[in-house]
Structure formats: structure tokens, C-alpha cells
Structure 1
């Protein structure tokens, strides 16, 4: 057993109390009997008399009372040191229970290791609760904002048909369908992020040659990308990798859609390669690029910003957050850097072999 923190303080206090008591009894008794013998030896009992005299009884009573007072003094001092941080935690817990998530406890004497750790753990928990509450408010507001536009368009158009303002044949159903698809994409993105955050995202891992998967995504988006002024250039490795192919297709779709919406028309380079046991998938656009101080935030949900006129996120503000969530589920990561040509390079990496530790860097 290691005598540290609170254990050490209690043992130290009890040891000091015992040493002080023994010294006081020794010194006090020697002084008392020396003085009493000098004043009147008859006040003391005879050597062969086991019954203490009245004066000796008074001395025993006095030294007992003094010992109790000394023990109470040490106990009160030690209890105050122990209870101060505990009372602070109790008060803070009560405030948190009543909705004040800004409540924090104070450790006071940090030499009491266990109580200091209790205070630190409580403060850490309270901080996480406060951060989660703020993030929840932000998410609720952001989701409401994203839902408002398509729902308003759908409701307004359908209400116009019901009221006779529009004739059914005049309604742009293709536009309404696009709004419904946006709603479906938002719901699926929210579902993916929820599964990732709760640790319940199910991956169907299998050894796959992603060349065919990425080429298929390119063919599906070819017409849409060409209409927007983009051309795809693929540099793909045929090295097999252990992954969930459907989720990786989701990553490629999100990155290409992000580029289509917010990058300058031009060349889009999609590369895959294997390096140091890691599989790298990257998409590089022609610009305008993202400022370095903003690049580290592009994978945060609903985090938007402008960089030379370009938004950071695509669609609902969840596309890149989904990319990062899927990468984490594969044991990897996602990053955004500036390309040599001035555009943005979005790179996703994960271990080639599922369960292998990620490489540093």
C-alpha cells in the first residue's frame, strides 16, 4: 500500500498527535512529580500503594482532558482540510443539478491527493457537460436553419397548388425533388454522425480494390461535374485495402460534391496511394483554397467560413464532418491542406490492415 495523498496526511497527523501526546505525558509527568515531591512528598502515594492519591487523580484527569483537547484540535484541523474540497464539490453538484453548468469546485490543499483528484474529475465532467449543452444548442439551431429552406419551398409550392395559385403542370417538380433529396442527404448525414459519435457505426470490413469503386463514383457524377465545369483526373493505386467500400464511396461523393459546390471550375485530382502501412485517399481542387487558420476546423459539423469567397463546407454543413467521422471509424483521420497549385487538398488516411495502429504524422 502506498502512503500518498490523503492516506499520507492522515498517517502523518496521527503520528504527530501520538508523538506530541507521549512527549507531553513524559515531560508533564516528570515536571509534576518533581514539583510535587519538592513541595510536599506526602501529596504523592507510597511506592507500594497502588491507589493514586487525590493530587495524582487530579493530574491524571488534567492530562486526560488536555490529551482530548489536543486530539480534538488535530481532528478539527484535518477534517477541515479534507471537508473543504468535498463541501465545494457538494455545493457545485447541487448547482449543476439545478442547471448551473458553469459551477466549478475548488481543491484548496492539493496535498490531499484523493480530494484534489475528485475536484479535478468533477470540474472536467462539468466542463464536458457545459460544452455538450452548448454544442447541443448549436446543433439544434443549425439543423433548424438547414431544414427551414427546403421545407419552406416545399410547403409554399404545395400550398400554392392547393390554393389554386399554381396548376400542377406548372409546378417545377424537378426542383422540388432536389429539395427532397437535400432533406434526405441531411437526414442521412445526421444519422451517420450520430452513429459515429455513439460508437455504433457498423462497418462491413473487407479487402477491396478501391480503383473500381472510385471510378464508378466518377462515372455517376461525370455529367454533373462536366456541367459545372470540372474534369476528373484519377491517379489510383490498385493496392487492396481493408475497408467498408460503401462508406469510402460516401467519402468520395462528399469530397467531390464539396469541390463541385465551392471550388473554382477546373481540374479535380483524385489520388490513392499506400505509404507506411497507411492508405491515403486525396482530392485536390483548383482553388480558391482555405485559409490555414480555418483549415483545421473544416471537418467540424455546421462550421462554415469564407476563404477568398469559398465556403468551407458543402450542402448542409455536414459533408466534411461525415468524411472525418467515417475516417475515424476506420481507425484513421482526415486533414485539409493547401495544394501546390493554390487549391485545397482533402486527404483521408486509414490503416491498410484493419486494426493496425495509425502511423504518426
Structure 2
């Protein structure tokens, strides 16, 4: 802590305030961890480095924090230095009167003739302020004291240099003594080597005798070794059978667990979609559903590992809509990432839409990698970047999490392995996800690699064959029918209810979690209708009407735009009409009424009975 603080002082004198700030902040972390008493001093140093960088807002914040700590000290240690730094910051900002007031407070009641070397910077600051103010007498007094302190510092350096020379002389004497000692040691070592040589000669004779006896014994025990090898071979066969039986049992048991678990999850999903379930009961069902989903993921991982060990892992190559698959598989993890305060980006603009692959296995690869990325990242961002390079498709999942040591790159892809036991205790998990990813990538004819820096994050890159295909006939027909529906809503429960309500009336129902995603879908799939919820439009504290206008502008020709809104005021209603929106559906609204309003075509503001729980209020 002291070393970092002193090094920061040196860097500050060398006019390297940014590097000095870094050392001061490291020292501050150590001081807080040790509950040290010099925290105000370190904060003062940080403020001084920030002031030199002209980061005045941060300087003021640090000064306020240091001042609060100093006021808790009855003797106000460090107040003079802090006030001097505050005065220097004010001077650099051009607030000379404030700087003058602060420096006067700093030296109020202080005998300038008795100040120490620790106040040298404060005297320098006072000199510059009084010189600007035209207070020549005060400026001269501080300049004289500064000169005196500099002389004292020079004397101290001279005495230190003298002590250093004496220490060097003592060191030279010690070196001479060490050289004499080494010479004596070499002489004794030569005598020892001669004695050792004689001893080794005798030992060699003994060893030759023992080897002769050993050869005779080995010849006699050769048959015993052969018998032992035969027994070991039988044991290995039995062990292999036992391992195979274990794997088969694991696969069978996991499958049997999965069947009732799917029943439990199915019932919880049905109950969550029931609008009549009380809120307290819904919270409990959500807990059960979340635990069930976690358990099913674990069972799926174990089942996949069992299939891999028995060689039963299969892939089925079919035409796959890559863009839709990526949006679907990343949507849940995007919501979880944003819930943790992480930025999330998905980039696949330059990739073909239709490829031939196993969509389930590809979805599983991306799902497992994103699961790890969200789990091990506490701050920063997650990014999914998909690129086509010749006949290869590369998917890179990048995070800014805890990172992986280079010597653990191969180990993390083994079953039931994590970086260390501490990682397992802190973050949990079975250690199967990356093993499954590697086996699935190989099954698809590709590979997975990792690059990482500890503390900065990791990037997992999946390299797969790229096989281009034409869109299947069914996809072409749906596009011709023009029956796509885009729904902007962030709540997964509401999404499930809306999907159940609207799927029978549209060819496809696509969900967007943000206005930007809704705009992208509107340009991508050519929908006939876009339904936007007010809460989702205002999720990032933006103007929901402006966001709705962006969606309406992006809608293709002939497409309708409908908005779910909570009884808009007259001025808001007029703004909504000015956006070009076709329908304003006032919520709360019953499910059948919502379907009727959306399928009836262009209309006015639709008001419905509020006596029943509504679709929009399920959130």
C-alpha cells in the first residue's frame, strides 16, 4: 500500500498523472480492505492526480469524500493538504477567489516557519494563488518557506547519499569475505569429491553384484509377471463393461427423470398463462418453473454426455433459417444479460440466411456458450458475432468476464471440469456445457477454440462448414401469403399468452425485445402487422411515441401498426395519430377483443371492458 502510494507520488512528480492515479487507486483498495487510517491521504493524492488531468468533476467528488472522512477525525489530520489540492483545482478552473479562500483556510493558524516537508506542495500552491491575486507579501512568504523546505530536502538527500556510500563500502567488505569463504569452500569441496570418487568406486562394485542377483531374480519371476498381465487384461475388460453399464444407466435414468419433469414444466407453463392465478401464487409457480428449467438443463446435459460416451449422438442436417435461429436462441440470454446490467450485441448482417445444418445442435452450442458467458460476467458486455468466411461459418461468443488461464484452455472442454474448485463454488454448474459444445461442434464437422486473458474476458469461436441452401417451399409460401406478425413485448409471460392468442390467426408470430429489434424484424420478414406495447417502447426511458414513430417508418408498404396504450391523454393521442399508427388499442383489453381488433383491419381507438384481467396487465 505504501509502495503504491509512494510510486504514485514519484509518477506525479514526473508529470505522469494518469499512471499515478492508477497506483493511488490500487493503494486505496488495499487501504480500505485493511481499514487503514491513511485513506484521506490517498484520496487527497487521487484528487491531485485528477486535477492535473483537468478531470475537475471527479476531483470535486474525491475531495468531498476525503473531506467527509477528515471531519470524522477530531484532530483533522490531512485537512491542510486536502484544502491545498482543492485550491489548486479551483485555480486551474479559473476560480481564483475560491482558490484564495481555500488556501487561506488551509494555512489558517499555521506557523509558516514550522511547516514540514509534507506541506511543500501546499506552499507551492499558495505561492501561485497569491501571485495571481497580487498578494506579493503572502506569495513571497510562501515562496521563502518553499525554498527552505527544498533546501532541507536537498540536505536530507545528501545525508542519505552519504549513508548509501557507507553501505556500499560495507557491502564491498562483505563481498571480500564471501570470496574468501567461497575459496575455502572450494578447497573442502575438492577434498570431498576425492573421497566421493573412492566411495563411488566401491558402490559401483556393490551395484554390479546386486544387478547380477537381480537379473537372476527377474528371470525367475517372468512367468509371474505374465500371469499378472493376463489378470490385469481381464480386469480392464470387466472395467470397460462396468463403464458401459454406468453410461447406459445414466442415459436411461436421465431420460426417465426428464419425462415427469416435462410434465411438471408443462403444468407450470399452463398455470402461468392463466390470468386468474393470484400474484402471490404466480410468484411461487415462477420459482418452481425456474427450478424445473434449471433441473431440465442439467438432465439434458447429462443425457447428451451419455449419448456422446455411447456413440449415440446423431445430427440431422436440414435447411435452417440462421437469422431466426440466432434471434431466438439469444433472446432469453439477452434479457438475462441486461438484467445483470450487461450490454448485449448480436451481429450477423453479412451471413447467408438459409444454410444446411442441424438447427437443434447449433442452437444447443450457442445456448451453452451464452449460458457460460452470462454466468461468468459481472460487468461489461456480451457479443455474439457470426461471420461467413469462404466455405466456413464462424460463431464467436465474446464476454468481459473472469477469463480463463492459458494453461486451462484444454481442461475446460473436459466433462465435469471447471477452471478450479473456487469457480465451481462461486458460480455453480456441472462442468458439462463446454464438453457438450466441443462434441457437438465435432459432430457437425467443425471445431471450437478459446482465447482469453484472465480478468478481461474470453472469446469462444466455433468453426463449422458452411453449406448454402435455398429456402424451403413452405417458407416461400408463408412469405408470399404475407401473414407475418411482429410483437414488441419484453415480458416472457405476456409473450406466451400472446403467442397462444395470435398464432391461430397469423402464419408466424415473431417477438422483439426492444424497439431496435422490432425495426430490424420489420425490414427483415416483411410483416403485415406490427403490435407494439407502450411498456416495451419506454423500457430504456426513451420517448415511447418517438420509438413508435421509428417502427411505423420502418414498416413495409401495406403493413399495419397497432399500439397497446394505457388510456392516452388527448395530446398524447394526437401525437400517436401523427406517427402514422393505424390502431391504438387501449389497455387493459381482453384476449378475444384484442384478436378481434387486430384482425378487423384499420380502426379507431379501441376501448374494451376493464372488469376482467387483461393481456397487457399480465406483466
Normalised by the size of structure 1, how large is the TM-score?
Answer: 0.50
Quick one: distance in 1 between partners of 2:385 and 2:426? 21
Quick one: distance in 1 between partners of 2:433 and 2:423? 19
Distance 1:340 1:213, change over 3 A: farther
Asked whether 1:238 is paired with 2:375, we answer no
Distance 1:274 1:88, change over 3 A: farther
Q: Per-residue CA shift, 1:195-250, capped at 9, x if unaligned?
A: 22333222220243422211122223332221122222122142344311121111
1:250 aligns with one of 364, 367, 373 = 364
Map of 1:281 onto structure 2: 395
Asked whether 1:94 is paired with 2:207, we answer no
Map of 1:295 onto structure 2: 409
Quick one: distance in 2 between partners of 1:252 and 1:276? 21
Q: Per-residue CA shift, 1:85-137, capped at 9, x if unaligned?
A: 9995554122343x4x5xxxxxxxxxxxxxxxxxxxxxxx89x959x96xx79
1:186 aligns with one of 270, 274, 298 = 298
Return the offset for 1:337. Answer: 0.9
Quick one: distance in 2 between partners of 1:335 and 1:342? 17
Map of 1:220 onto structure 2: 332
Map of 1:323 onto structure 2: 437
Return the offset for 1:264. Answer: 2.7
Quick one: distance in 1 between partners of 2:430 and 2:398? 21
2:385–2:397 contact (8 Å) kept in structure 1: yes
Which SS does the other structure have where 1:298 is aligned?
helix
Unaligned runs of 5+ in 1: 1-83, 102-124, 148-167, 355-361
2:373–2:401 contact (8 Å) kept in structure 1: no
Unaligned runs of 5+ in 2: 1-220, 258-279, 469-619
1:338–1:345 contact (8 Å) kept in structure 2: yes
Quick one: distance in 2 between partners of 1:261 and 1:176? 21
2:402–2:455 contact (8 Å) kept in structure 1: no
Quick one: distance in 2 between partners of 1:346 and 1:312? 21
Normalised by the size of structure 2, how large is the TM-score?
Answer: 0.31
Map of 1:346 onto structure 2: 460
Which SS does the other structure have where 1:335 is aligned?
strand
Aligned residues: 219
Return the offset for 1:343. Answer: 1.3
Distance 1:91 1:315, change over 3 A: closer
Return the offset for 1:318. Answer: 1.4
1:279–1:352 contact (8 Å) kept in structure 2: yes
Q: Say what the alpha-carbon RMSD is for the aligned residues.
A: 4.2
Quick one: distance in 2 between partners of 1:244 and 1:129? 32
Distance 1:195 1:85, change over 3 A: farther
Distance 1:260 1:326, change over 3 A: same
Quick one: distance in 2 between partners of 1:251 and 1:301? 15
Return the offset for 1:169. Answer: 6.4
Quick one: distance in 2 between partners of 1:341 and 1:332? 28
Distance 1:304 1:263, change over 3 A: same
Higher helix residue share: 2
Q: Which has the higher contact order (CA 8 A, sep 6+)?
A: 1
